[in-house]
Amino acid sequence: MRAKATASSPRLFAIRGFRNAFWFGIAFMSCLTVLAVNGSALFYFDSSGYLIQGFSAFSQAGIHLSDLSQVTAASGDAAAQVSGETNNTVNGSRSLVYGLVLAAVTAFARVEFIALFNTALVFLAVLLPIKVATRRYGIPSSLTFTISIPILVAASSALPFYTAYAMPDVFAAVLLLVVATFTAFAPTMRTWEVFLGLALASLAVLSHPSHILMTIVLVPISAVVSGFLHRRKAWIAPLLILIPVAVAFTERVTFKIAVEETTESKVVYFPILTARLIADGPGLKYLEDNCPNVEIATCALFEALQKSDDPMRLTASHIIFASDPALGSYRLMSEEDQRRVGEEQIKYFFNVLISKPVPLILAFGRNTLEQAFTFKIDMTIPSEAIVTSVLSNPRLPPATFSKGSLERTQHWVRWVNYSHVVIYAISLVVIGVLLIRSDGLPRHLRVMALMILLGILVNALVCGGLSQPADRYGARVIWLLPLLATMMVLFRNVTSRRREASL
């Protein structure tokens, strides 16, 4: 019997290895379906800006990934106008880190390979909580199967659109998975698991300014939830979540110093919060009551807004990005006024909050609610305007991006959105049932599920309340619902196999 068991061991090992490779391969390929159908990476207006910023940063460091010297002065000026930069300013609203990542991938391979990078990040982010949970509770299936099935189910929703997207949006979901894992399991995580989580979360907060704000909001939420779950060790999770925030602020300070010393320019930021307050009404009312006033820098923006009576001039996107005199305002101001308005936006927010607290809170709540129900995948598919703008950008290497076969106006897009709504609705029902059932899940997995749901709402608050409700912002995290529902099903009733250890 021993000889027979020994002889069959290599065969059994090979069978298991094949099964693991099969499930892993199917799940990985499912994340690349949109890239395969489109034939190229999906992109947005900012995709070219990230690439140019990344190439420029490498060039400043003496690493020439792209021959930018061939760009004419006129072309450089045109691209600078698109990015909001001038000879004396550098716009810091885009992530330098993501620009470096996108530039490196494009230079050493092709921009389409960003989909492989994004997919690998998703797998690592899903591996983290499942590895911790399987060690704690145990499951009847293999680790590879348990990782692959939730991803495979999530790939039936918005996930493959974001893995194919040459934008940092997929990092938002990665961040929420890490924060939820830390909150639920931090005191029992192994060293390598903690470092993996910190690496993923740090990369996430460095990839987009909205992720920094999301993390800051999630810290006190994690602290409260950890207090109920971990008691004496409740401080560990919020402390770990604060580390990526510290990393992000250090990077911003370092970036500012480097820009000022190497280029003798000022770092400026788009007044996104200011534009949101004006578009919602309370910020505009505050300016009407207090301008003109030389002590209020934003009065210069209010003056620029008076040059046209087009109501679309007061939308947040037009305030910041429009350069047409009929719709633009911020872009038509002097460089110095733009800098002062951007620097004042936090002070301006608190002034409006003190002056108009109720209207401001109601506006934030309305925008958050709208964002929570706004999650179509349309914005990930380049429009004709985006294709024209990006493909004609003279500062990009030739044939960096290409127009794919997918278009927003195609009939199938509407039916895909309908199917996604059904998937998300079913996922919410499954999550709700397993959270309510007394024997549905052990408490740590309930906490992880609760934190992911709260994280999706925080994403809606930050993107909808502080920026502008948009399908792109909602869809970038909503695919976590089918992923979470599947994970919960796989781990249902695990307490009957292994009793929870008290912390």
pLDDT-derived band at 323 (thresholds 50, 70, 90) equals confident
Question: Out of 48-52, 303-307, 399-403, 434-438, which region has the weakest mean confidence (pLDDT)?
Answer: 434-438
pLDDT of the residue at 118: 97
Taking a C-beta distance cutoff of 8 angstroms, is the pair 147, 177 a contact?
no
pLDDT in tens, 56-114: 888 877 787 766 444 333 333 334 444 445 556 677 778 889 999 999 999 998 999 99
Cite the DSSP H helix spans in 167-208. 170-185, 191-207
In whole angstroms, give the CA distance from residue 448 to residue 444: 6
pLDDT in tens, 33-62: 999 999 999 999 999 999 998 988 888 777
Q: For the residues 495-502, what does the mean pLDDT come to?
A: 46
More confident residue, 459 or 253: 459
pTM of the model as a whole: 0.89
CA angle centred on 380, ends 377 and 382, rounded to 5°: 130
pLDDT in tens, 225-246: 999 888 889 999 999 999 999 9
pLDDT-derived band at 370 (thresholds 50, 70, 90) equals very high
In whole angstroms, give the CA distance from residue 49 to residue 34: 23
Q: For the residues 169-197, what does the mean pLDDT come to?
A: 96
pLDDT-derived band at 123 (thresholds 50, 70, 90) equals very high
pLDDT of the residue at 74: 33
Q: Which two tokens stand for residue 117?
A: 């990078």
Most confident range (mean pLDDT) of 176-180, 357-361, 494-498 is: 176-180
Q: For the residues 17-32, what does the mean pLDDT come to?
A: 89
Q: Beta-carbon neighbour count of residue 392 at 10 Å?
A: 10
Looking at every residue in the chain, the average pLDDT score rounds to 87
Q: Which two tokens stand for residue 234?
A: 């409740």
- Give the Å distances, CA to CA, from 20 to 81, 143, 296: 50, 8, 62
CA neighbor of 451 nearest in space, from 153, 224, 154: 224
Question: For the chain, what percent of residues have pLDDT higher than 90?
Answer: 62
Taking a C-beta distance cutoff of 8 angstroms, is the pair 90, 268 a contact?
yes
Q: For the residues 264-279, what does the mean pLDDT come to?
A: 85
In whole angstroms, give the CA distance from residue 193 to residue 180: 13
Q: For the residues 341-366, what does the mean pLDDT come to?
A: 92
CA neighbor of 194 nearest in space, from 207, 203, 185, 204: 185
Instruction: Report which secondary-structure segment, H or E, holds 267.
Output: strand 266-268
In whole angstroms, give the CA distance from residue 188 to residue 198: 15
pLDDT of the residue at 321: 85
Taking a C-beta distance cutoff of 8 angstroms, is the pair 122, 163 a contact?
yes
pLDDT of the residue at 83: 46
pLDDT of the residue at 87: 54
Is the predicted pLDDT of residue 147 greater than 50, yes or no? yes
Q: For the residues 325-347, what does the mean pLDDT come to?
A: 89
Q: What DSSP string describes 268-336?
A: E---HHHHHHHHHSHHHHHHHHH-S-TT-TTHHHHHHHTT---GGGGSHHHHHH--STTT-SGGGS-HH
More confident residue, 259 or 49: 49
Question: For the chain, what percent of residues have pLDDT higher than 70?
Answer: 90
Q: For the residues 216-231, what does the mean pLDDT come to?
A: 92
Looking only at the bridges linking them, the beta strands covering 266-268 and 89-91 are: parallel
Which residues have CB under 8 Å from 438's CB, separation 6+? none
pLDDT-derived band at 13 (thresholds 50, 70, 90) equals low
Q: For the residues 267-271, what does the mean pLDDT come to?
A: 84
Q: Which two tokens stand for residue 396?
A: 């990009």
pLDDT-derived band at 197 (thresholds 50, 70, 90) equals very high
Taking a C-beta distance cutoff of 8 angstroms, is the pair 204, 172 a contact?
yes
pLDDT of the residue at 496: 41
